[in-house]
Structure 1
Amino acid sequence: MLARAARPAFTALAAASLPAVRTAGFHSSGAQLATLRELEQRVKSVRNIEKITKSMKMIAATKLNKAQRAMAAAKAYGEANNEVFKNSEAVAPEGGRELFIVVSSDKGLCGGIHSSVSKRAKIEFAKVSPSAGDAHSSDGPSIVVLGDKPKAQLGRAMPNNLALSFNQIGKDVPTFSDAAAIADLIFKSGLEFDKISIIYNAYISAIAFESHIMEAYSEQALRNAPSFAAYEQEEDTTKDLAEFSLANAIFAALVEGHASEINSRRNAMDNASKNAGEMIQKLSMEYNRGRQAAITNELVDIVTGASAV
């Protein structure tokens, strides 16, 4: 209990300190409001991202059915090639020249599709070239790249071995005409090879893909195959067969790689949408806590001011 004589002095001191208390509360509240506005903007931004990723997931899911049907039909081309090379016992001569064709696309936002074939190409390239790790060396087989994404990755590792590149790949389901045009340009480019290794992404399941290699052989390798004579030919069509088999192999690899890419993009967008949803929950909780803290501080300021008066 304050002494009667001291009460006037305490009342004057409380009145003098009241403006300072209110001013401090105002600055604290302003900082909290700024933080709350930032959180609110972040929540809006993440919600917009979530809408985009969900839309991209729906588009990919719609395209996937078409890509899977095309893949099932195109696999027959690759299987027919394998039967011809297997039955004819075609092999590349020892020390023969090898050509790598890396199949991917120009688009991103599809997980590790592009890095999968690029890493496989580097591994296979290192097996046949002792200077695979030297970016300034032009030793080793030539590389043909389908798609800008793997071109950028392989261009940093082995720029002197990139012989040809094609873009505008993967906009829609590839056709045999696309594959035939690519094969024709490869033959017209003058690249010398006995064996071709086509590196592409094989569709394993709805959640998995894997880099595979499909082989094709040159006209000379087919002529020298031990059992190639079993195929009766009225005219010498070996050259046409070699070109047609390369187009078949490229077509099968393009279509299966396209299906793997669409599936991977759908999964990537699904994961991105889930991550955005979790971030929205976290930011919303943080925003609500900050808002509640600001309201509590305002109430404390009011009660303190009233008590001081």
Structure 2
Amino acid sequence: MFSRLASGLRPSGLRPIGLNEQTRNAATLKTLSIRMRAIKNMQKITKAMKMVATAKFKKDMRTMENGLPFAQPVLNLFQRLPVEEKAGPITYVAVTSDKGLCGGVNAQVAKQVRLGLGAEEAKGNTAKIMVVGGKGVSTLKRLYGDRFSTTFEECSKVPFTFAAASLIAERIALSKPARCKVVSNQFKSMVSYDTIARHTFTVDEATTMDRGEWTKAMDVYSFEPSIYEVWQDLHEFYYGCVIYGSFIQSTTTETAQRMNAMENASKNAGEMYGKVELQFNRARQAKITTELCEIISGASAV
């Protein structure tokens, strides 16, 4: 009879509760142990990534604070021009990052571009897309690959400078867009940001603008030589300032959101580890109880 008990066969009425649990618990304990180890490793990685993002954020914040005063005066100058909603082709410039794990910063930019494309194409206007950053390319390429004109990837491998922004601005100027909107993230604080579609004045818009409105906006400044002589170079410089300002703000936003995302991931991993650890302890206790029941049942049968 003892051999029958040891082989898992029980006489009628002597089968203890939890026999099937014994078989399951052996596998469950091993599975839970592996899962706990994986969660702990994940938590270590996310904590390390948060520390890296924290160090990088200070550098990006300093770059933004030093770079925006350089670009903002030119942006303020062109913001004095009146915005006129006209029909015609439009170019969207999406400023995204090359890396992920930073919350929804890239998804928000892609969403704004998709909504803008849908609205413009519903009006019968053709639209093109220029993308800065690998994440924007991978997000928009599947549905809007035929609208792509130029992409700029791996911009974050080296520190972004105004020279790099000038190269992108040169491509925009060479495409001669009739209308242009730069979609990017505007940094507000460590926990908040705005995704904006900045109307960027093109050469075509400036040359077809009402002269009275043009004079009202530009005559408050003195240009040497005259505005008409330096206008082309000034406009390309304006494109560069828009791209540079948008990129450094987007980079700062990306780093801040990555810090928050990694902190939340570490917190969630800790909570998940606690739940799995509780399951592990319950399964181990159930296994011990089952073995005790089997021993007592075996002894009673003998």
Aligned equivalents of 1:256, 1:36: Cα separation in 2:
48
Q: 2:181 aligns with which of 197, 210, 226?
A: 197
CA deviation after TM superposition for structure 1 residue 83, in Å: 1.9
CA deviation after TM superposition for structure 1 residue 82, in Å: 2.6
Residues 1:100 and 2:92 are matched in the alignment = yes
The match for 1:183 is 169
The match for 2:15 is none
CA deviation after TM superposition for structure 1 residue 247, in Å: 0.4
Aligned equivalents of 2:101, 2:130: Cα separation in 1:
23
The match for 1:10 is none
CA contact (8 A) 2:88 2:126 kept: no
Q: Aligned partner of 2:119: which letter?
A: K
CA deviation after TM superposition for structure 1 residue 293, in Å: 1.2
Aligned equivalents of 2:140, 2:27: Cα separation in 1:
47
Distance 1:100 1:90, change over 3 A: same
The match for 1:13 is none
Q: Aligned partner of 1:22: which letter?
A: A
Which sections of structure 2, spanning at least 5 residues, go unmatched? 10-18
The match for 2:203 is 219
User: Percent of aligned positions with the same letter in both sequences?
Assistant: 29
The match for 2:49 is 56
TM-score scaled by length of structure 2: 0.85
CA deviation after TM superposition for structure 1 residue 151, in Å: 1.7
Distance 1:244 1:42, change over 3 A: same
CA deviation after TM superposition for structure 1 residue 206, in Å: 1.3
CA contact (8 A) 1:71 1:256 kept: yes
Q: 1:149 aligns with which of 135, 140, 151?
A: 135
Q: 1:110 aligns with which of 69, 79, 102?
A: 102
Aligned equivalents of 2:27, 2:116: Cα separation in 1:
56
Aligned-residue CA RMSD (Å): 2.4
CA deviation after TM superposition for structure 1 residue 93, in Å: 7.9
State the aligned residue count.
284
Q: 2:263 aligns with which of 256, 267, 270?
A: 270
Q: Provide Cα deviations, 1:186-224, integer angstroms capped at 9, x if missing partner.
A: 333xx2224321110111221122201233323344455
Distance 1:176 1:289, change over 3 A: same
Distance 1:301 1:93, change over 3 A: closer
CA deviation after TM superposition for structure 1 residue 109, in Å: 1.0
Q: What's the secondary structure of 2:129's corresponding residue?
A: strand
The match for 1:7 is none
TM-score scaled by length of structure 1: 0.83
Q: What's the secondary structure of 1:40's corresponding residue?
A: helix
Distance 1:209 1:170, change over 3 A: farther
Q: Aligned partner of 2:177: which letter?
A: F
Q: 1:85 aligns with which of 75, 78, 81?
A: 78
Q: What's the secondary structure of 1:170's corresponding residue?
A: coil
Q: Aligned partner of 1:164: which letter?
A: T
The match for 1:291 is 284
The match for 1:43 is 36
Aligned equivalents of 1:178, 1:60: Cα separation in 2:
23
Q: What's the secondary structure of 2:150's corresponding residue?
A: strand
Q: What's the secondary structure of 2:8's corresponding residue?
A: helix
The match for 1:135 is none
User: Mean alpha-carbon deviation: is it higher for 72-81 or for 44-53?
Assistant: 72-81
CA contact (8 A) 2:46 2:262 kept: yes
Residues 1:304 and 2:300 are matched in the alignment = no
Distance 1:30 1:96, change over 3 A: closer
Aligned equivalents of 2:274, 2:62: Cα separation in 1:
39
Q: Aligned partner of 1:181: which letter?
A: L
Residues 1:124 and 2:116 are matched in the alignment = yes
The match for 1:208 is 192
Q: Provide Cα deviations, 1:30-72, integer angstroms capped at 9, x if missing partner.
A: 5422221111111001111111111111111111111111112
